[in-house]
Chains A and B, each alone.
Chain A
Amino acid sequence: MSALLLVAALRDPPSVTALDADGWTALIGAARAEQMIGTLAYRLQGLPMPDAAARILADARLSADQGRIAALWEAEMARRALAPLGVPVVLLKGTAFVAAGLSAGVGRSIGDLDILVPRESIDAVEAALLAAGWEWVKPDPYDDAYYRQWMHELPPLIHRERDRMIDVHHTILPLTARVRPDASLLLADSFELGNGLSMLSREDVLVHAAAHLFADGDLAGGLRNLWDIHCLLDEFDAPGFRDALIARAAHHGLAREMARAVRLADALYVPLPLAGGVRGGLDVSSSALSDTSPPAAPPASGRGARFADRLYRRRLLGRDGWGVQRRKLSEFAFYLRGHYLRMPPAMLARHLWTKWRKGYRPPG
């Protein structure tokens, strides 16, 4: 499974020196499929490797650097459009990481611009963005109405000249989800980055990442999300931080998701301590990655949680040497689960039925 190669390379970069041509090909394929090729490229920079691999990774670094410039520019464009409103504009996800110079942003691919604004300002924000050249993406009235009534964000907008999407959030989970994070606290504790834009507090950045990963959706892109969480944990590490983090997550109703995110990030990405002269990360076929958690992981809450962790790991690591998601059944199960978490059963049935009639088919 090539996703294991990717995880091993990220947690223990020197392990790549043992790869043959097919190993490199599979590693690069997985990294591209997970949109982590830039992250990998920075992580492996300077290590001895075949010229062809070095060239591909050098290209990936250039591409990530350009992506960073474009993401920051897009944030600046949003800032200019929204400045007259005088509302806080909180950067989320990748753009926040690069704007704040966090290690999670190094080489990270950034697609859309995600921002959080106060819910009471959402109409004004929408109007300002439309006036500044953003346009609706979703022409379908059902989708549009669905977003406005039930989602945690406006229907996505795209800028007509720069062709970049913006997702305007007023909270971090759909309104239909069972969990209702405290959006006003997210805003109240956000802080200014010094460029007219803000980002979430340290704890809330992590809570958002965990919510995004485990409470909203089907775990597509989960390895990248977990890498974000690993980097943030590592960077914010201080006595008591993890306790404060779990307490904060509990306030938002996301303690279970946060604990799972921490556990899995540690299990997948924290290098194992030296044991018997062999580094755990070196041997990707070892049980280290597939079964046991390293000592650094906090205790899981019972056997059920452990079992669930294993399912998540299965879902996260199911790519073959071509970067293709295998284990279609597990992918489909997580697709259903993602929807189940998003909305009550009757509503889910209605939604899926409408989507099916319109011709949308889930993966599987």
Chain B
Amino acid sequence: MRHVFHVKIGPIGFRVGSDWRQPIAQLETLYRDYPEPDDGIPDFSVRLFAARPWRRFVRPAVMIGGDYTIPDTAPLPLSLGLLAAEMGMNLQMALAQRRYLLLHASCVERDGRAVLMTGISGAGKSTLAALLMARGWRLMGDEFALVDPETGLLHGFPRLVSLKNESVAVIEAALPRARFGPLQLATPKGDIRHLVPDADSIARMAEPARAAAILFPRFGFEAAQRPVLPSETFVRLTQASTNYVAMGERGFDALTALVRGVPAVAIDYPDAATAVAQVEAVAA
């Protein structure tokens, strides 16, 4: 690999190699305040490479590879190289992470109490997490929350927040002084702009927290909320986990302990301000 970048996000070290300079330069800028992997040994490697040597120059298309890959992943244009790198890192986690139970959720923390927010794509996980960060919460991540089966604690994974479509403008307005990546138009997931977590979230990313609430937000409905029983929470979280089955008994134990000990609430909201108020009320 011609260009290489090392970074540690939460407890996980990555190495990203690329045939092109551009995605690595963007990673270096956006992740400049993050540490290096422990002992210089990354947990996972990601490769951004050209399918054929000449495709480095002619109609460059970024293939996503790494320690673990899924076959037939479609390449992205070089202008979306940063997105490809982020997808590559997520892919390693989704396919191979076994130390922690992974929950597809965003996570924020205040006073040692972490709030997990999970739901289908478009439910507002990333937007809510970024808005709460704007209000002084520590951002622990917007993609994966990591449950340690030994301690039950949540570990942060505060990579760049992936803002999509309408939420880009909402968050730009809410966090005018934040650092953003380039606006990437017409990606497979719509328009995307990456947000760099604030200094406090990065500085304290190695600090785990205990879950205080599990929320299932839903955008586009009248404001409402209802408690969710542990049984339903358990089933919904097994579906929100990429490695629950692969973790076997450890995953089962970690998840049952989580849903037994932590209250869960389904929240419907019509707009961001309402949602933030609901979350803060539930977490109080």
Partner-B contacts on A (CB < 8 A): 20-22, 24-25, 28-29, 32-33, 50-53, 55-56, 59, 62-63, 66, 69-70, 322-324
Contact = CB atoms under 8 A, between A and B. Distances in A.
5 A-B pairs with the lowest CB-CB distances in the bound complex, closest first: A21-B40, A50-B39, A52-B39, A52-B41, A52-B38
A323 B246 contact: no
19 contacts: A20-B40, A24-B41, A25-B40, A32-B67, A33-B67, A50-B39, A50-B41, A51-B38, A51-B39, A52-B38, A52-B40, A53-B41, A56-B43, A59-B99, A62-B99, A66-B247, A69-B248, A322-B47, A323-B67
Contacts of A53: 39, 41
A interface majority secondary structure: helix
B68 A63 contact: no
B113 interface: no
A25 B44 CA distance: 9
Interface in B1-53: 1, 13, 15, 17, 37-43, 45, 47
B250 interface: yes
Given A25-B42, A52-B43, A63-B246, 13 more contacts: A20-B40, A22-B40, A25-B15, A25-B45, A29-B45, A51-B39, A59-B99, A62-B99, A62-B250, A66-B247, A66-B248, A322-B1, A323-B67
B248 A29 contact: no
A56 B65 CA distance: 19
Contacts of B246: 63, 66
A43 to B, nearest CB: 18
A326 B284 CA distance: 56
B98 A25 contact: no
A22 B40 CA distance: 7
B160 to A, nearest CB: 23
B88 to A, nearest CB: 12
A20 B39 CA distance: 9
A63 B42 contact: no
A324 B47 contact: yes
A56 B41 contact: yes
Nearest to B13: A52
Contact of A62 (B1, B15, B67, B98): B98
**Contact-residue size bin, chain B (C-beta under 8 Å from the other chain):** 20 to 34
Nearest to A29: B45
Contacts, number: 57
A128 B31 CA distance: 55
Contacts of B43: 52, 55-56
A246 B40 CA distance: 47
A141 to B, nearest CB: 21
Nearest to A32: B67
A116 B47 CA distance: 39
A160 B15 CA distance: 36
B251 to A, nearest CB: 9
A323 B247 contact: no
Please indicate which of the listed interface residues A53, A59, A70 has the most CB atoms of chain B within 10 Å of its own CB.
Answer: A59
A29 B68 CA distance: 10
Interface in B131-178: none
Nearest to B49: A324
A52 B247 CA distance: 20
Contacts of A28: 41
Given A32-B68, A59-B99, A66-B247, A25 B47 contact: no
A205 B8 CA distance: 44
A21 B41 contact: yes
Contacts of A33: 67
B39 A29 contact: no
Nearest to A33: B67
Contact of B17 (A20, A50, A70, A322): A322
Contacts of B250: 62
Nearest to B67: A32
Contacts of A66: 98, 246-248
Interface in B232-273: 246-248, 250
A204 to B, nearest CB: 32
Interface string B54-69: 0000000000010110
Contacts of A324: 47, 65
Given A52-B13, A322-B1, A21 B39 contact: yes
Contact of B99 (A24, A55, A69): A55
A65 to B, nearest CB: 8
Contacts of B99: 55, 59, 62
B67 A29 contact: yes
Nearest to B247: A66
A93 B17 CA distance: 35
Contacts of A62: 98-99, 250
A153 to B, nearest CB: 21
B62 to A, nearest CB: 15
B45 A323 contact: yes
Contacts of A20: 40
Contacts of B13: 52
